[in-house]
């Protein structure tokens, strides 16, 4: 099969995307990015825009602003000034002007009253570029593991997947109160249904943290309940990269690996174990173990 010349360009510029994601917290110039692509600095910016339908400068700005938005929503202990500096702005005022232009809200208003249905809309182009360039998870890395019985505190998100961030906020706040840090207490998502064929108002996903703590009446009122993840044999596929391609990896596990393996799925939903979190790590370095229970 003849390789399309455009494939070589995609590969070279995919390295640029990964580099931007990994180093968006420092100054990046086009000459540096052109060198990573092994492309003429005189033509790099035009080729980038031709491939991705967005300029490199705009892409970098969106990467920084999306990470800032995540920090505002899910890292509430970080001051807005620090988030502004991390996003490359000299002061909170200039960051606030740029953020308001993108989200039609100030950073403080966004942090306290986000528009959950639409807050990711400004980053649609960014997400498409990442989906097109991030490496597909290799199915030859699937392993069979013995998973131990794990008791968790679980909170269900029920309703539109677009609003799951609202539930994540409450989940993070609760586990902070109970000192259940991710470095010591594993984090899981339980996929009670398939978002692709479930009406938005019926969508259900469990957010769970490993713990043996007992629940108070107040915990129950907040929506937490005890959920035990059953022990047994599981197929594990490590997904590295954006959540935008997490569903693709899970689909490949069912479509390509499972029929060839001779295995049969067990009587429990698919589980995502979150190992490394965005925005604590660059999005292309986020790690999620996809766990498929086996009979």
Write the pLDDT tens digit of every residue in 73-109: 999 999 999 999 999 898 999 999 999 999 999 999 9
Instruction: Check residue 16 and give its pLDDT.
Output: 93
Query: Which 3 state secondary structure label does DSSP give 178?
Result: coil
Instruction: Check residue 4 and give its pLDDT.
Output: 52
What are the backbone angles phi and psi of residue 281, rounded to the nearest 5°? -125, 160
With 60 as the cut, is the pLDDT of residue 164 above it?
A: yes
Positions of E strands within the chain: 143-147, 150-158, 187-191, 204-210, 224-229, 232-240, 270-276, 287-293
Q: What is the overall mean pLDDT for the chain?
A: 91
Among 27, 17, 20, 19, residue whose Cα is nearest residue 88:
27
Least confident piece of the model among 18-32, 153-167, 201-215? 18-32
Instruction: Check residue 18 and give its pLDDT.
Output: 86
Place of tokens 């995540």: 70
Q: Mean pLDDT throughout 264-284?
A: 92
Q: Mean pLDDT throughout 245-256?
A: 90
Q: Say if domain 5-131 classifies as CATH 3.30.390.50.
A: no
- Compute CA distances 211 → 93, 116, 140, 179, 236, whole Å: 42, 29, 32, 10, 22
**pTM for this model (two decimals):** 0.85
Instruction: Check residue 6 and give its pLDDT.
Output: 63
- Compute CA distances 120 → 69, 131, 198, 207, whole Å: 9, 15, 21, 20
Instruction: Check residue 2 and give its pLDDT.
Output: 43
**Where in the sequence of the chain do the CATH 3.20.80.10 domains occur?**
139-293
Query: In the beta sheet, which residues pair with residue 225?
Result: 154
| CATH classification number, 139-293, choose in 3.40.50.2300, 3.20.80.10, 3.30.420.40, 3.60.21.10 | 3.20.80.10
Element (H, E) at 27: none
b/e string for 131-143 if b means 16 or more Cβ within 10 A? eebbeebebeebe
Q: Mean pLDDT throughout 123-144?
A: 80
Q: Mean pLDDT throughout 259-266?
A: 95
The two tokens of residue 169 are 């906020």
With 50 as the cut, is the pLDDT of residue 228 above it?
A: yes
What are the backbone angles phi and psi of residue 181, rounded to the nearest 5°? -70, 140
Euclidean distance between CA atoms 194 and 198, whole angstroms: 6
The two tokens of residue 262 are 């001779």
Q: Which residues contact 111 (CB under 8 A, 6 or more apart)?
A: 72, 73, 76, 80
Q: Mean pLDDT throughout 256-268?
A: 95
Among 122, 119, 111, residue whose Cα is nearest residue 79:
111
**Where in the sequence of the chain do the CATH 1.10.10.60 domains occur?**
5-131
Share of the chain above pLDDT 70, in %: 96
Instruction: Give the torsion through C-alpha atoms of 28, 119, 188, 174, to 10 deg.
Output: 110
The tens digit of pLDDT for each residue in 2-24 reads 445 566 888 899 899 988 988 88
Q: Mean pLDDT throughout 123-148?
A: 83
Q: Mean pLDDT throughout 184-189?
A: 97
């Amino acid at each position: 099969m003849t390789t399309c010349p455009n494939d070589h360009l995609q590969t070279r510029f995919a390295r640029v995307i990964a580099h931007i994601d990994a180093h968006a917290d420092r100054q990046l110039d086009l000459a540096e990015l052109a060198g990573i692509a092994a492309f003429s600095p005189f033509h790099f910016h035009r080729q980038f825009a031709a491939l991705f339908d967005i300029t490199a400068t705009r892409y970098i700005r969106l990467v920084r602003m999306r990470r800032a938005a995540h920090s505002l929503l899910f890292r509430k202990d970080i001051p807005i000034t620090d988030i502004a500096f991390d996003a490359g702005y000299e002061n909170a005022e200039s960051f606030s002007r740029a953020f308001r232009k993108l989200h039609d809200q100030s950073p403080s208003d966004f942090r306290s009253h986000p528009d959950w249905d639409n807050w990711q809309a400004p980053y649609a182009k960014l997400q498409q570029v990442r989906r097109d360039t991030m490496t597909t998870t290799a199915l030859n890395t699937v392993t069979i593991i013995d998973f131990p019985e794990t008791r968790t505190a679980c909170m269900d998100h029920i309703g539109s997947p677009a609003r799951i961030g609202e539930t994540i906020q409450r989940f993070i706040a609760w586990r902070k109160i109970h000192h259940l840090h991710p470095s010591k207490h594993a984090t899981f998502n339980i996929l009670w249904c398939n978002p692709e064929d479930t009406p938005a108002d019926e969508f259900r996903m469990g957010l769970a943290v490993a713990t043996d703590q007992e629940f108070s009446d107040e915990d129950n009122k907040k929506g937490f309940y005890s959920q035990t993840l059953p022990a047994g044999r599981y197929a594990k596929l490590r997904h590295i990269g954006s959540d935008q391609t997490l569903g693709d990896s899970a689909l490949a596990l069912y479509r390509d690996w499972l029929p060839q393996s001779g295995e049969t799925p067990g009587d429990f939903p698919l589980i995502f174990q979150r190992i490394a979190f965005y925005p604590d790590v660059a999005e292309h370095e986020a790690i999620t173990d996809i766990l498929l229970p086996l009979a």
